[in-house]
Structure 1
Amino acid sequence: MRSLLPSVLCLALALSGCASPPAGPFHGTDLSGVSYGRSLDLQDTDGHPRGLGDFRGDYVLLSFGYTHCPEVCPTSLLKATQVRRALGEDGDRLRIVFVTVDPERDTGPVLEEYVRAFGDGIVALRGDAMQTRLAAQTFRVTYRQVPTRSSYAMDHTMVNYVIGPDGRLQLAFQYDQPVTQMVDDLRVLMTRERGTD
């Protein structure tokens, strides 16, 4: 199966500005003020329409992937649950959202069973082919089908986005970002928010 590293590395370099250390208080890439990533028009595993407005008032840790992903996607979801747990009481305000780029195989029941394996409260979203493409484009995520001997894999970019309570992008974490750094950054965001209340 073709490696996902080319896409992952391209996105990592694009977000990190030639891999230089991020300036400011964040370990991740500061996306505050960007004009993209402001809408999402998909369905949950029960077929109900879902959008970013459903998560207003909470922080969202959003990633794109697929259930047949061999390593990167499950690792990302596992880390997301670790981040939420490490935040303690503040973890109640972090919603984990997983969007499939493989709606052909990732039906509602398949997605529900997949995310449930990583813990409670993970929201899995899917759409038809056009909705999936529009959602990915909105968040500057690319993906494509790669044939394998028995079926196909999905070559896709992997990034964890943090969306703030106002529904706007705040941060991007690279796929290999340590959990401790992600927790630190979220605490900075939450502390800032409390300071403006």
Structure 2
Amino acid sequence: MLRRDFLSLAGASALLAACGDEPKPAFKAVDITGADYARDFKLPDTAGKVRSVGEFQGKAVIVFFGYTQCPDACPTTLAEIAEAKKLLGADGAKVQPVLISLDPERDTPELLKAYVGNFGPDFIALRGTPEQTAAVAKDFKVFYRKAPGSTPGSYTLDHSAASYVYDPKGRLRLYVRYGAGAQALADDLKLILQA
């Protein structure tokens, strides 16, 4: 009985494959392929060069919104991305991490460059004006707001802490929840790079 069920299942799979309905990859993150938001960004990097997803053709791009004075979510996420790149071995060079600052008031280009450099020499940081930052965050459906500190300049930011992954053709593919882990991210990136 079990053998007959297995053969029926195998036959059904063969028919589906013959029809061109290939099974979707089993991502650990949320598959958002075809979403009508977070399609691109156009913001200056720490050297003033305007960057966008399209210029990283051939690489998987991971976009994360954060800020340098973030006490927990930002360094944790960037460390997970760095570890995922290491887990990929040579393919780690085909992954481009991008941090978009949510705090352009305090995150100077010099500070951002030094901050992302702690996680890897190929990490890029982008910093727009407050208006550009708000527009890009809105397009990515990223929430952020100031949380007052004990002094006017000591505020923190409450913000969304997920990452967005684009495939080597520049298409938005994944929404990675905070704390997913480096191994899960590496597994998903391996699938993305094979697409």
Cα-to-partner distance string for 1:17-48 (whole Å, 9 max, x where unaligned): xxxxxx96111100111111112011000111
8 Å CA contact 1:37, 1:168 repeated in 2: no
Percent of aligned positions with the same letter in both sequences?
A: 39
| 149, 161, 164: which one aligns with 1:161 | 164
Alpha-carbon distance in 2 for matches of 1:94, 1:88: 11
8 Å CA contact 2:168, 2:193 repeated in 1: no
Which structure has the bigger radius of gyration?
2
Three-state SS of the structure 1 residue aligned to 2:146 is strand
Alpha-carbon distance in 2 for matches of 1:141, 1:162: 15
Whether 2:171 is the aligned partner of 1:173: answer no
How many residues in Structure 1 have an aligned counterpart in Structure 2? Answer: 170
1:152 Cα shift? 0.7
TM norm structure 1: 0.83
Alpha-carbon distance in 2 for matches of 1:57, 1:35: 22
Alpha-carbon distance in 1 for matches of 2:91, 2:25: 23
Whether 2:193 is the aligned partner of 1:190: answer yes
Q: What letter matches 1:183 in structure 2? A: A
Query: 1:7-18, aligned counterparts within 5 Å?
Result: none
| Unpaired runs of at least 5, structure 1 | 1-22
Name 2:147's counterpart in structure 1.
Answer: 146
Q: What letter matches 1:112 in structure 2? A: K
| Unpaired runs of at least 5, structure 2 | 1-23
Name 2:19's counterpart in structure 1.
Answer: none
Alpha-carbon distance in 1 for matches of 2:156, 2:71: 9
- Return structure 1 stretches of 4+ with deviation > 6 angstroms: none
1:186 Cα shift? 1.4
Three-state SS of the structure 1 residue aligned to 2:184 is helix
Alpha-carbon distance in 2 for matches of 1:38, 1:167: 9
Alpha-carbon distance in 2 for matches of 1:147, 1:83: 34
8 Å CA contact 2:84, 2:185 repeated in 1: yes
1:76 Cα shift? 0.5
Whether 2:96 is the aligned partner of 1:118: answer no
1:148 Cα shift? 0.7
Name 1:81's counterpart in structure 2.
Answer: 82
Q: What letter matches 1:173 in structure 2? A: V
Three-state SS of the structure 2 residue aligned to 1:141 is coil
Name 1:39's counterpart in structure 2.
Answer: 40
CA RMSD between the two structures: 1.3
Alpha-carbon distance in 1 for matches of 2:95, 2:165: 9
Q: What letter matches 1:31 in structure 2? A: I
Q: What letter matches 1:91 in structure 2? A: G
Name 2:99's counterpart in structure 1.
Answer: 98
